[in-house]
Amino acid sequence: MQEPWWKNAIGYQVYPRSFKDSNGDGIGDIKGIIEKLPYLKSLGIDFIWLNPIYKSPNVDNGYDISDYEGIQPEFGTMSDFDELLKQAHSNGIKIILDLVVNHTSDQHPWFIQSKKSKDNPYRDYYMWADATPDKMPNDWTSFSGNSTWTYDETTKQAFFHVFAPQQPDLNWRNPKMRKEIYKMIRWWLDLGIDGFRMDAISHIQKEPWDYDPKDDPWSAFMNVKGIDNYMSEMRDIFDQYNIMTVGEASGVTSKQAPDWTDPNKKGYVNMIFELEHNVRAGEPGKERIDVLGMKKVLSRWQKDQETSGWNALYFENHDNPRINTILGNETTKSATAIAMSYFFLKGTPFIYQGQELGMTNYPFTSIDQVDDDESKLRYNDLLKKGKDPIQVLNEITHWTRDHSRTPMQWTNDSKAGFTTGSPWMKVNPNTATINVAVEEDDKASVLNFYRRMIEFRKSELTFINGSYIPIFEDDKDVFAYIRKYGQKEFVIITNLSKNVRKMKLPDQLLDKNWNLKLSNNKISELKDELELAPFDGMVFEKE
C-alpha cells in the first residue's frame, strides 16, 4: 500500500510575524515568506505550517480571529496568499494553515451580534450563563489563571472563555454554528491548501456548568465526552481531500491517541501534537528540561502509537522557549545533538523557524520587554497573589512565549536582516554569530547539519516503518534508541547533558558491525565501551 505523503515529510513552522518583513514596517509578512521559499527548499522541508494569517485584533498574535476568510492586512492580501500557495507548490512545498475554531476574537461579527441581546440569532454561537459582577456561573479557571467567565453589562450574563476574555469560546453544541465553521473549512480546502494544524482542538467540548474540576482545574474542557461528534464531522470533510491534519490535542492521552489518529479507528486527524513532553511552565530553579522524564513521555507515545496511529514530533514551537537554551547549552554541539535525538523517532518531524540555526532564548531583564499577552496576564495574576516580584519576573521571563517570537536571524546585521525598519519584537543580539548567512558558509554549522540530517532521514524508509526500541532507558542524560525494520537496523545515541558519559553497549548492539551515518563529533566507531563527550550525538547503521 502506498504510504500517505505526510509520513515521509518534514514540516517547518513559520511564525509569519517574525519570519521576514518585505516592506519595512517591522512586521513579517506573506511576501517575506515568498522571498524565502528558496531557502526553505534548500533546507529540504516538504511542508510549511503557517501560524494564523487571518484578520485579527492581535490580542493573542492572530489566535483571536475576527474574519476567517480575510488576511491580516499587516501580512498582505488574499492575492499575496494565492501567490504564496502557487510558488510554494511549484517548489514542491505544501502549505498547512492554523485552524482556530475553539474560539474567535471578541471583535468577530458573530460575537458582536451575540453580545447584543439574549434573543439575537447569534446568541448561541457562544456560551452565556446568568451571573452578577461578583458571582460567576462557576469557579472554573482558564489557561491564563483567571476565571473562564467574563461578565457583560448589556445582558447581565457572563460569557465563557478558556483563554483570554478577548477570545470567547464558540458553542460547539450549536449545529448552526458548526455548519458555518465547516463551510469555512471547505472554503480554504477548495482554495488548494494542504491541510490544517488544529488549534486547541481538544477543548471544543465542555463539561456541564455544574461539573466540579476538583484538583485538575482544566479537566472541564480537556477532551470531554461528546467531542467525538464534532471531530467525526470534521474528519468526514477532511477525508474528501488529499491533505494532512495535525491536532493540538492536550488532554488526549497516549493510550487514547491511536483512536484519534488511526484511520482504521476513529481517525479524526492524521497525527496530534501532545503537550506532555514539552513542559513549559517550569518552576523557578528547574530551568532545564528533565531528560529522563522527557524520554519516558516520548517513549510511551512511541510505544502506544507503534502499530496504530502516528506521532507528530517536535521540540519547539511558538509557545515554547528555545530548546537549545532549555535543554542544550546554546552551542552548535547541543543544537545538533538535540536535533538527532527526536528526528529519528517514528512520526512526522516538525522544525520551528530558527531551530535549524540553533537560535536561543532572548535575555529578557524586565517585564516591559515582554509582548506576550499570556505572560503579562500570568505576571499580574502572580503579583496579585502576593508572590515576590523578582521571583515572578524570573519565572515569566524564563518561560515567556516571546523567546520563540523574536525575529528570524537571517544576517549579522543588528536587525538580523529581518527588516529594514524597526522590528516589532526585539532582535536577539546573538544574531551577530547565529544567522543564516554565516551558517550557509560554514560546513560545520547547525544549519548545514540540519540539511544533511533531513536528506538522510528522508532517504531511509526504516525511519517511517521501523519499530522503536529504547536503550539506556533509565539513564538521566543519554537518549538513545534503535529503529529496526526487517534486516535494517539503525541506532541513535545522543548525550543530552554536559556530563562526560561512559556507556557500556547493551547486548543487542554487540557482535554486529556498525557504520557511522551522521554525527556531530569525532567518534567514528561503535565500540563496546563508548565514551560520550557533552552533547555528542550520532546515528549508526548495521552493516
Residues 148-167 that bind ligand TEU (CB under 6 A): 163
Nearest to 28 by CA among 71, 66, 74: 74
319 lies in the site for ligand TEU, by CB under 6 A:
yes
Asked if 411 and 39 count as a contact pair (C-beta separation under 8 A), the reply is no
Among Ca ion, ligand TEU, none, what binds residue 250 when CB lies within 5 to 8 Å by partner kind?
A: ligand TEU
Candidates 199, 274, 439, 477; catalytic one: 199
Asked if 91 and 45 count as a contact pair (C-beta separation under 8 A), the reply is no
Angle between helix 227-238 and helix 175-190 axes, rounded to 10 deg: 30
Among ligand TEU, Ca ion, none, what binds residue 23 when CB lies within 5 to 8 Å by partner kind?
A: Ca ion
Q: Retrieve residue 15's grid coordinates.
A: 511564525
100 lies in the site for ligand TEU, by CB under 6 A:
yes
* Between 46 and 60, CB nearer to ligand TEU: 60
CB of 444 to ligand TEU, least distance (A): 33
Residues 13-72 that bind Ca ion (CB under 5 A): 21, 23, 25, 27, 29
Among ligand TEU, Ca ion, none, what binds residue 277 when CB lies within 5 to 8 Å by partner kind?
A: none
275 lies in the site for ligand TEU, by CB under 6 A:
yes
Report how far apart, in Å, the C-alpha atoms of 210 and of each of 136, 149, 173 are: 12, 14, 17
Binding residues for ligand TEU, total number by CB under 6 A: 12
60 lies in the site for ligand TEU, by CB under 6 A:
yes
Q: Does 199 participate in catalysis according to the annotation?
A: yes
Among ligand TEU, Ca ion, none, what binds residue 25 when CB lies within 5 to 8 Å by partner kind?
A: Ca ion
Among ligand TEU, Ca ion, none, what binds residue 314 when CB lies within 5 to 8 Å by partner kind?
A: none
250 lies in the site for ligand TEU, by CB under 6 A:
yes
* Between 318 and 403, CB nearer to ligand TEU: 318
Residue 318, number of CB atoms within 10 A of its CB: 22
- Pairing between strand 157-160 and 128-130? antiparallel
Query: Which backbone phi and psi does 471 adopt, to 5 degrees?
Result: -125, 165
Identify the residue whose cell numbers are 519584537.
Answer: 425
Nearest to 244 by CA among 339, 312, 317: 312
Angle between helix 373-384 and helix 389-399 axes, rounded to 10 deg: 160
Among Ca ion, ligand TEU, none, what binds residue 199 when CB lies within 5 to 8 Å by partner kind?
A: ligand TEU
473 lies in the site for Ca ion, by CB under 5 A:
no
140 lies in the site for ligand TEU, by CB under 6 A:
no
370 lies in the site for ligand TEU, by CB under 6 A:
no
CB of 29 to Ca ion, least distance (A): 4
Q: Is 240 exposed, middle or buried (0-12, 13-18, 19+ CB in 10 A)?
A: exposed
Q: Dump the DSSP string for 81-150.
A: HHHHHHHHHHTT-EEEEEE--SB--TTSHHHHHHHH-TT-TTGGGB-EEE-BTTB-S---B-TTSSBSEE
* DSSP at 422: -
CB of 397 to ligand TEU, least distance (A): 18
Asked if 484 and 469 count as a contact pair (C-beta separation under 8 A), the reply is yes
Candidates 74, 248, 373, 439; catalytic one: 248
* Between 78 and 500, CB nearer to Ca ion: 78
CB of 282 to ligand TEU, least distance (A): 13
CB of 26 to Ca ion, least distance (A): 7
199 lies in the site for ligand TEU, by CB under 6 A:
yes
Quick one: CA torsion of 37, 19, 195, 455, rounded to 10 degrees?
50
Q: Which residues bind Ca ion (CB under 5 A)?
A: 21, 23, 25, 27, 29
Using CB under 6 A as the criterion, which residues of the chain lie in contact with ligand TEU when the complex forms?
A: 60, 63, 100, 143, 163, 199-200, 248, 250, 275, 318-319
Question: Which residues are marked as active site?
Answer: 199, 248
